[in-house]
Structure 1
Amino acid sequence: MPIRQFQAQRMVAPRQFKPIENKPVVIEIGAGKGKHALLFAQQYPDTTLYAIERTREKFDAMQKQATLTPNSHFHPIHADALPWITHALYPKQVSTFYILYPNPEPHNSAQRWLNMPFFEFLLSRLVEGGQIILASNIVDYIAEAEQQLLQVWKLPYEKQTIASDSSRTHFEVKYLARGELCQQLVMTKPQHYTTRFDDFMPLNGVNP
């Protein structure tokens, strides 16, 4: 399906937004209660991770757990991902985006990640050789995303079956316990891959 251009300059900054430094980062979008983010922060304590969660209850749970094991490189963010990323991130700053079990948007396919104009902006923030990891328990969601990768975004990727004993998120634990097939697409940004946002600098909280 055709993708219109994302209107980055129209994004209003999240409340209490704070700019970040232009240093290498990992981003988790829709981090929930932070199970994966906290495990990642423990495994890679020197890697700067921003874990974004929109829902207040889930964010509060993640933040509470983060205070129990302090790590100056781990930053829980309470915000909608699109405006936060537009205002905060620099071109080619992110080594990995994690999007684990996003809302499949059954009634609005245009809101699925690879169908959104915003996905082009996301790619502009990714370093060359960087990866986007998208996981889902919905076979049709993965299949549609594959088609978009091939036809629209022209990105190399690997489709992987997630091991039955994996436990990165609460959703993953639940789905695997029910015997559901969980899969992920590991997308890689090639060298010299270009987007229309490669020179777009972060808005840094300045609203239009």
Structure 2
Amino acid sequence: MPIRQFQAQRIHAPREFKAIPEQALCVEIGAGKGKHALLFSQANPSQHLVAIERTREKFLAMKKQHELNPCDNLNPVHADAIAWMVHALYPAQVQQLFILYPNPEPHNPAQRWLNMPFFEFLLSRMAPNASITLASNIPEYISEAQQQLDTVWQLPYRLEKIATDSARTHFEVKYLARDELCQQLVVTKPEGYQTRFDDFMPLQGKVTQPNEATTTA
């Protein structure tokens, strides 16, 4: 399906937004109660992970787990992921991105991540050879994402069946316990891949007017 251009310059900053350093990061969108975020941070002490969760109840649960199991390389963030990324992230900053079992948006397919104009902006934040891991228990969701990767975004990926003993998120544990097929796409951003947002700097809490945008047509 055709993708219109994302209007990054019109996105308002999340409440209580705080800027972050321009350093290599990993990011998880929709981190829930933080099970994967904690596991990843503990297993990868040299990598800094920002775990974003919009729902207050889930964020507070993640924050509590982080306080009980502190990791200096984990930064839980309570915000809308799109707004936070537009205001916080620099071009080519993200080394790994995780979108694990997102809302399938059954009544609004345009809100699925690879169908959204925002996905082009997200790609501009990824470093060359960085990876995006998208997991789902819905075969149709994965199939549609594959089609978008092939026809719209033209990105290489591999499709993987998730092992039955995997336990990265609470959803993953639940789905696998029900013998559901869980799959993931591991997408790579190749060297030289270009977007219209490659020179767009983080808004840092400021919203510009459309004619001030650094994007190109």
TM-score, reference length from structure 1: 0.99
Partner of residue 29, structure 1: 29
2:90 corresponds in structure 1 to: 90
Equivalenced residue count is 208
1-structure distance, mates of 2:173, 2:156: 28
Name the SS for the 1:31 alignment partner: coil
1:105 and 2:105 correspond? yes
Aligned partner of 1:79 in structure 2 is 79
What's the counterpart of residue 141 of structure 1?
A: 141
Distance in 2 (CA, whole Å) between partners of 1:146 and 1:41 is 28
Cα distance, 1:102 vs structure 2: 0.1
- 2:174 is matched by which residue type in structure 1? K
One-letter code of the match for 1:79?
A: A
Q: Which whole-Å CA distance do the structure 1 matches of 2:113 and 2:71 have between them?
A: 30
User: Structure 2: how far apart are the matches of 1:149 and 1:15?
Assistant: 33
CA RMSD of aligned residues (A): 0.6
For residue 40 of structure 1, what is the aligned residue in structure 2?
A: 40
Return the alpha-carbon distance in structure 1 between the equivalents of residues 45 and 11 of structure 2.
32
Report whether the alignment pairs 1:196 with 2:196. yes
Give unpaired runs (5+ residues) of structure 2. Answer: 209-217
How far 1:71 sits from its partner (Å)? Answer: 1.9
The Cα of 1:168 is off from its aligned counterpart by 0.2
Q: AA paired with 2:138?
A: I
Read off the aligned partner of 2:87 and give its amino acid letter: H
Q: Secondary structure at the match of 2:96?
A: strand
Mean alpha-carbon deviation: is it higher for 98-107 or for 71-80?
71-80
Structure 1 letter corresponding to 2:38: L
Shift in Å at residue 69 of structure 1? 1.8
Q: Distance in 2 between matches of 1:88 and 1:162?
A: 31
**1:68 deviation in Å?**
1.2
- Stretches of structure 1 that go unaligned for 5 or more consecutive residues are none
What does residue 178 of structure 1 align with? 178
Cα separation, 2, equivalents of 1:7 and 1:206: 14
Q: Distance in 2 between matches of 1:142 and 1:10?
A: 30
Cα distance in structure 2, aligned partners of 1:187 and 1:151: 14
SS at match of 2:193: coil
SS in 2 for 1:114: helix
Match of 1:131 in 2: 131
Cα shift at 1:47: 1.1
Work out the CA distance in 1 between the residues paired with 2:119 and 2:28.
15
Cα deviation for residue 46 of structure 1 reads 2.4
Deviation per residue, 1:38-70 (Å, 9 max, x gap): 001111122111000000000000000101122
Poorly superposed stretches of 4+, deviation over 4 Å: none
Q: Which amino acid letter does the alignment assign opposite residue 146 of structure 1? A: Q
* Partner-residue secondary structure (3-state), 2:190: coil
